[in-house]
A and B are shown apart, each in its own frame.
Chain A
């Protein structure tokens, strides 16, 4: 889960990292009153989970409350690379500072944590890596031993930071490491990490990605936000379904993440021949594929108004296809009139023929049984385009 800047800064503050005083606002009036309370020039920043806000006009200076209100009005609702700014962060403007860069991330290839520190903050770090590699220190950090103050100092020095700020930056680097480990983050990035003329170090921006697998040991639920999918993803989450809304017309249910991803691809290929229909969602119902889970899954998919046909693609392994077929039959009974559009079912694996027989005998008017994945994709695309 990616956090908004203001949420990242909340976590920074909890771990003793300085951030400029400020608050988040959802309306221009709120922005005005926050600016009034701060009694100083403020920065109004669009809260979107993407980069390039500055260039898009999503970050503006405001000398006082009425300017803050005007700027917030301009930014709220703004579209930045497909992300709508629903809130703005109003914070006290920081003057006169050097800009550095600090980040920790998971290095999937080396299966370790990676620290990156640079004296060139405020710009795209990939550009720094390409054009000024000597200004970027990269160091793998052992997950078992962690990052100590000494290593943090070494990082600051290798990144070419001025000597008189290295101690202060190193102390902040250690606190940022605590954020990474104690909050179970997969990414912590501060760009820019500012150092003021009086040698105070503060995080002017923040990007954090939290590990959803670690949710059980944190109180991070408050950070979750509803996305623009008509609430389908939230409803699916409530039923413990692994669902992602996409923009097509063919609903897809399968068991296993890889098989479902593959099904989406095969549907999209078939759709190229049928009006360009595309998959409407990703939904993995896992290995068990019980009647209740199947019914919940179908219910979510069929409540997506864009869906014109559904493909159920199950490989029967431990749960054999006869059990899956019985599950589908029961699920359709549960759905009743809710089964509003054609449902193509492809079963393969253990007892596949028995499973197909069960579906055939049930004779549901909306269900069509196809033996191969490619054939099922072809039929469902045709039905969705009709």
Chain B
């Protein structure tokens, strides 16, 4: 089992004909993803040949969904077109829209998020995220498929490379689904959404949660875990040495005054019984112990 994305997911790629879109579509296909359509306004009727198959291009998300039954969209368009692309997917009521694009203006994210919340039909993951992967089943985004294997750990993370690091260190145990939720200040799917889905997923036994400085998503996740999560959770938080007021790579990774520090997040998580690794390797070790003592 898995969350959000399974072997039955039919995936369309918004921006497939762009350089990034083409490159990653090829990788997703190689990972076994059932990619059924590309969407590029004005290029409907064309098709792109990949090693595995020929993927038809449609002019709109609605058309692609009607023709192919696609239920997941992965968005690779440049930042200035991201809002339009996501709103189109939301209006077409696609169940899952994964926004890989980095550098989307926050007001644009707020607006497409408000639209998705109003219609209530579309889960958004991202923006500025690596997407998600259910190893052995499907991959929607840019997470390398060949660093890990299928298994029963669920992972949710603000950071792409830390996700890869943990997936790689625990590759012998394997993952049900790894979800990169993104490092922007405003994101569609939160730690809590993923925790809830992993808790409900019979294919997931334990959860790794990776957080970083900025905002209070980890603190809120801790409160949620205390109330609702019975599966073991191991966490890691990055950015203990980050100075106040400086954005550390991710737009959302900033300590403002005394808010958003790694220390506060770690304390909140430990207070509800979550074991927090001091380094990524220690976090992997903690998860290994957790799974093996079950």
Binding site for B on A (CB under 8 A): 106, 108-109, 111-113, 142-144, 181, 184, 186, 211-214, 216-217, 242, 244, 246, 254-262, 264-269, 278-279, 282, 284, 287, 315, 317-318, 348-350, 372-374
Contacts and interface: CB of A to CB of B under 8 A. Distances in A.
A348 B27 CA distance: 20
Interface in B3-61: 27
Given A106-B186, A350-B144, A373-B281, A213 B251 contact: yes
Contacts of A348: 165, 168
B280 A262 contact: yes
B253 A261 contact: yes
25 contacts: A108-B185, A111-B110, A112-B114, A143-B110, A143-B111, A143-B113, A143-B114, A144-B111, A184-B107, A211-B105, A211-B107, A211-B251, A214-B107, A242-B249, A261-B242, A264-B239, A265-B262, A268-B240, A278-B241, A284-B249, A287-B160, A315-B164, A315-B168, A317-B144, A317-B147
A350 B147 contact: yes
B105 A214 contact: yes
Nearest to A258: B159
A222 B294 CA distance: 59
A108 B114 contact: no
Given A213-B103, A265-B279, A284-B249, A258 B241 contact: no
Nearest to A271: B241
Contacts of B158: 258
Contact of B164 (A108, A144, A349, A372): A349
Closest 5 CB pairs of A and B: A258-B159, A257-B249, A256-B161, A143-B110, A214-B105
Nearest to A283: B249
A106 B214 CA distance: 13
A386 B105 CA distance: 45
B176 to A, nearest CB: 20
Contacts of B281: 372-374
Most interface-central of A143, A242, A261 (chain B CB within 10 A): A261
Nearest to B280: A262
A353 B183 CA distance: 30
A282 B249 contact: yes
Contacts of B215: 108-109
B89 interface: no
Contact of A144 (B115, B238, B247, B253): B115
Nearest to A180: B107
Nearest to A50: B245
The A contact surface, by secondary structure, is mixed
Contact of A216 (B80, B164, B253): B80
Nearest to A318: B144
Interface residues of B, number: 62
B165 A213 contact: no
Interface of B: 27, 79-80, 103-108, 110-111, 113-115, 117-118, 142-144, 146-147, 157-165, 168, 183, 185-187, 210, 212-213, 215-217, 220, 236, 238-243, 246-253, 262, 278-281
Q: Which of B158, B162, B243 has the most CB of A within 10 A?
A: B162
B113 A259 contact: no
Nearest to B103: A213
A144 B147 contact: no
Nearest to B118: A144
B249 A260 contact: yes
Nearest to B240: A265
Given A257-B250, A373-B280, A262 B106 contact: no
Given A257-B159, A269-B279, A287-B160, 13 more contacts: A108-B252, A111-B186, A186-B185, A212-B251, A258-B249, A259-B162, A261-B241, A266-B279, A282-B242, A287-B142, A317-B143, A349-B165, A350-B147
A209 to B, nearest CB: 10
A264 B242 CA distance: 8
A262 B115 contact: no
B219 to A, nearest CB: 9
Interface centre among A142, A244, A265, A372 (most CB of B within 10 A): A265
B45 to A, nearest CB: 31
Contacts of B249: 242, 256-258, 260-261, 282, 284
B183 A258 contact: yes
A121 to B, nearest CB: 20
A106 B109 CA distance: 11
Contacts of B146: 350
A269 B115 CA distance: 44
Given A256-B161, A318-B144, A374-B279, A261 B238 contact: yes
Nearest to A265: B240
Contacts of A216: 79-80
A339 to B, nearest CB: 25
Contacts of A181: 107
A184 B103 CA distance: 13
Contacts of A113: 110
Contacts of A260: 248-249
- Name, among A212, A258, A266, the residue most crowded by chain B CB atoms within 10 Å (CB to CB): A258
A257 to B, nearest CB: 3
Contact of B113 (A111, A186, A282): A111
A258 B210 contact: yes
A244 B163 CA distance: 23
A109 B160 contact: no
B72 to A, nearest CB: 20
B113 A257 contact: no
B114 A106 contact: no
Contacts of B187: 111
A213 B110 CA distance: 13
B250 A258 contact: yes
B87 to A, nearest CB: 10
A211 B110 contact: no
B162 A217 contact: no
Nearest to A314: B161
Nearest to A214: B105
A318 B142 contact: yes
Contacts of B241: 246, 261, 264-265, 267-268, 278-279
